[in-house]
Amino acid sequence: MKRPQRYAIIGGGINGLAVARQLLLDRPDIHVTVFEKEAAVARHQSSHNSGVVHAGLYYEPGGLKATLCRRGVALLKDYCQHNGLPYDECGKVVVALTPDELPRLEAIHRKAVANGVPDVEMIDAGRLREIEPNCVGLRALYSPRTAIVSYGQIAQCMAQEIEQRGGTIVLNAAVRRIDERGEQVQVELQGGQVHPELFDAAIACSGLQSDRLARQSGDAATPRIVPFFGQYYVIDERYKSHVKGLIYPVPDPRFPFLGVHFTKRIDGQMTIGPNAFLSLGRENYTGTDPSLRDIAAALTYPGLWKFGARNVPAMLRELKTVLSEKVFVREAARYVPSLADVAVTPAVRGIRAQAMESDGRLVDDFVIRQSRRVTHIRNAPSPGATSSLAIGEHIVRNLIRP
């Protein structure tokens, strides 16, 4: 009798769990083992984010981001409804404050339409006031179906489902290297011990450590992960009704991050954030736990210096929001002036696993690379969580040999 196929998933974040779940859905006779270095799943990017389910406004039509984001929204909504998890279509406006932002806003609208974002429309200042009575702006792009969730809850639900379907989740098991050995794959843990089970294939979904695991496993050295942190603040609860849903700025194409904005949380609180600045550690979520290894890796990478040289004004702007809470709030209050002096409390700090080439270019689209029996997710920043179920579906159905 032929033995069941065995698959190893490296990383118990939302993408790794989505891949494991999809494998068990499509091939219930196989064995799936998820290796997670922490004492519980979803301890990193999966639980340190805004909770926004991105509708697909910004992404280049036809790219993996656009395709998997739109598919991911549908799968995620169905998953939440099926499992009784909160899913709030609170809506989003992308607001132009100045005339020079209008052409960029219209370009986003064209991308959104091309990507099939439902019910998206350009609106004037009057209509904007109907949707967000305290928001100012010349025009806005309105996406009423943009939603919010708790990705941490979704990941926990997926983990339970994986175990119910016969999968295994091994905690406190950091993986150092994946070795292809003929027709099988060997998993080596950080302590040097080799996992006793051999696998038919492995999928690495290791987020902030993805480049290191890939290099150790024989994949290309670039792109490298350069971590950028984003701080969120919760506004005084007495003022949370000043914003109804999500209020975003028009992104500056010269800088890859969206800028400070208002985001409603699934618990009903209203947050401001995030800014974006170089993190002194890939997992420095508190801001007080720097990693000398990570700092050295970033500062000795030529790509970071080339990126910085091209983005000096934006980096200085972001640095001001890091150094001053008042500046941070003031950036957001350009869109809602009634909140210019609102009190805020530090909330979650997220760290974006941003892939960067050695010439300083940020890798915009998702990057999924594959050898014969090993698949590496090398870049899956936002909308990676939104796209997670679609990423799992794409990898399992299009990339992995049965």
Count of C-beta atoms within a 10 Å radius of residue 121: 13
What CATH number is attached to the domain comprising 104?
A: 3.30.9.10
Q: Do residues 253 and 338 share a domain?
A: yes
pLDDT category of residue 1 using cuts at 50, 70 and 90: low
Joined tokens for residue 298: 């970033």
Asked, for residue 345, whether it belongs to a domain, the answer is yes
Domain tally, the chain: 2
Q: Is the pTM of this model over 0.75?
A: yes
- Residue 38 scores a pLDDT above 80: yes
* Nearest CA-CA partner of 34 in 152, 161, 144: 161
- Residue 402 scores a pLDDT above 80: no
Mean pLDDT of 364-368: 93
- Per-residue pLDDT at 400: 84
Q: Do residues 295 and 179 share a domain?
A: no
Q: Do residues 143 and 265 share a domain?
A: yes
- Residue 311 scores a pLDDT above 90: no
Percentage of residues of the chain with pLDDT beyond 90: 87
pLDDT tens track for 164-212: 999 999 999 999 999 999 899 999 999 889 999 999 999 999 999 999 9
In three-state secondary structure terms, 232 is strand
| Domain housing 329 | 89-147+226-356
In three-state secondary structure terms, 81 is helix
Supply the DSSP symbol for 397: I
- Per-residue pLDDT at 260: 82
Distance CA 185, CA 178 (A): 7
Percentage of residues of the chain with pLDDT beyond 70: 99
- Residue 17 scores a pLDDT above 90: yes
pLDDT tens track for 247-280: 999 987 766 677 788 999 999 999 998 988 999 9
Distance CA 205, CA 224 (A): 15
Tell me the one-letter amino acid at 386. Answer: T
Tell me the one-letter amino acid at 69. Answer: C
Distance CA 56, CA 60 (A): 9
Joined tokens for residue 140: 């806005």
pLDDT tens track for 87-115: 999 999 999 999 999 999 999 999 999 99
Q: Which residues contact 323 (CB under 8 A, 6 or more apart)?
A: none
Asked, for residue 293, whether it belongs to a domain, the answer is yes
The neighbouring-strand residues paired with 263 are: 271
**Contact at 8 Å (CB) between 213 and 353?**
no
Burial of 396 (0-12, 13-18, 19+ CB in 10 A): buried
